[in-house]
Amino acid sequence: MDYAAALLSKLPGTSSRRSKDIKQLVETLEAYMPAEDIEQVMNSYEFGALAHQGQTRMSGEPYISHPVAVAQTLADMHFDGQTIAAAILHDVIEDTEISITEIEKQFDSEVAALVDGVSKLDQMEFTSRAEAQAESFRKMMLAMIEDIRVILVKLADRLHNMETLKSMPREKQARIARETLEIYAPIANRLGINHMKVLLEDLGFRYLYPFRYSVLQNALKRSKGSQRQIVKRISERIMKAMQEEGIDGEVRGREKHLYSIYKKMAGKKR
């Protein structure tokens, strides 16, 4: 069944960008999710699109583009249908007249509980917290969550907000970036989601210290060729030594990401 086509036919006036986004989400879901769960996700999209109708983001894009991007991040990680549906609906309670009771009636208690959990996290304030308190607030966030999927929706939500932070005023960019580095990236790290932690850290670094980020990024680009050659040579030597010793395995090299390099330089006062 072409879920995307059936859904988009119900929502006239959908932009080509939104059509592309929802088709990409469906393609990702079809690779691992049962048909009945995909149908629930599509129902949540229809419900969310109508609830957010007329609302736009600071960038001017329709608001529903944000929940769909959050859902895509979680779909790429192969999360279940309830989590994806909750991702699409995660701002409905906060930003529309829809109640949690209505969500439970339209979907199920599991989706409603996830949406409610994300909404409660959104109500926590970090703006006036001292840096030294960041650890206690991370603990508080994790302690108040009954279902770990709630924090995963929130991390995906924060990631997309960071990816689209360009349209925000500079002061707000810095505040959100600091909060991301102090609260959300460490939670992603604690949960073992390294790729999300790296993205959150680099985006937080970019918006909190834009000049330092630019200088370091340019320096890294200039040295990238020689770095790759060094990693290649070292990897080959280790691989040869392993073969000589009869050790079966592989050698991988990776670049340190920008924020990690920055922290090391700051720590060594370089």
Cα separation, 198 vs 194, whole angstroms: 6
Residue 14 backbone zone (phi > 0: left; psi -120 to 50: alpha; other: beta): beta
Catalytic annotation on 108?
no
DSSP code string of 63-79: TTHHHHHHHHHHHHTT-
Q: In a 3-state reduction of DSSP, which class is residue 56?
A: strand
DSSP code string of 122-148: HT---TT--GGGHHHHHHHHHHT-SSH
Cα separation, 32 vs 214, whole angstroms: 39
Of the residues 46, 95, 104, 147, only one is catalytic, namely 95
Helical residues (DSSP H) of 144-209, grouped into ranges: 148-163, 170-179, 185-190, 194-208
Of the residues 94, 108, 135, 236, only one is catalytic, namely 94
Task: Write out the two tokens for 257.
Answer: 């990401």
Q: Which residues have a Cβ under 8 Å from the Cβ of 259 and sit 6 or more positions away?
A: 181, 198, 201, 202, 204, 205
Catalytic annotation on 95?
yes
DSSP code string of 28-54: HHHTTS-HHHHHHHHHHHHHHHHHTTT
Task: Write out the two tokens for 149.
Answer: 């999927």
DSSP 62: B
Positions annotated as catalytic residues are: 94-95
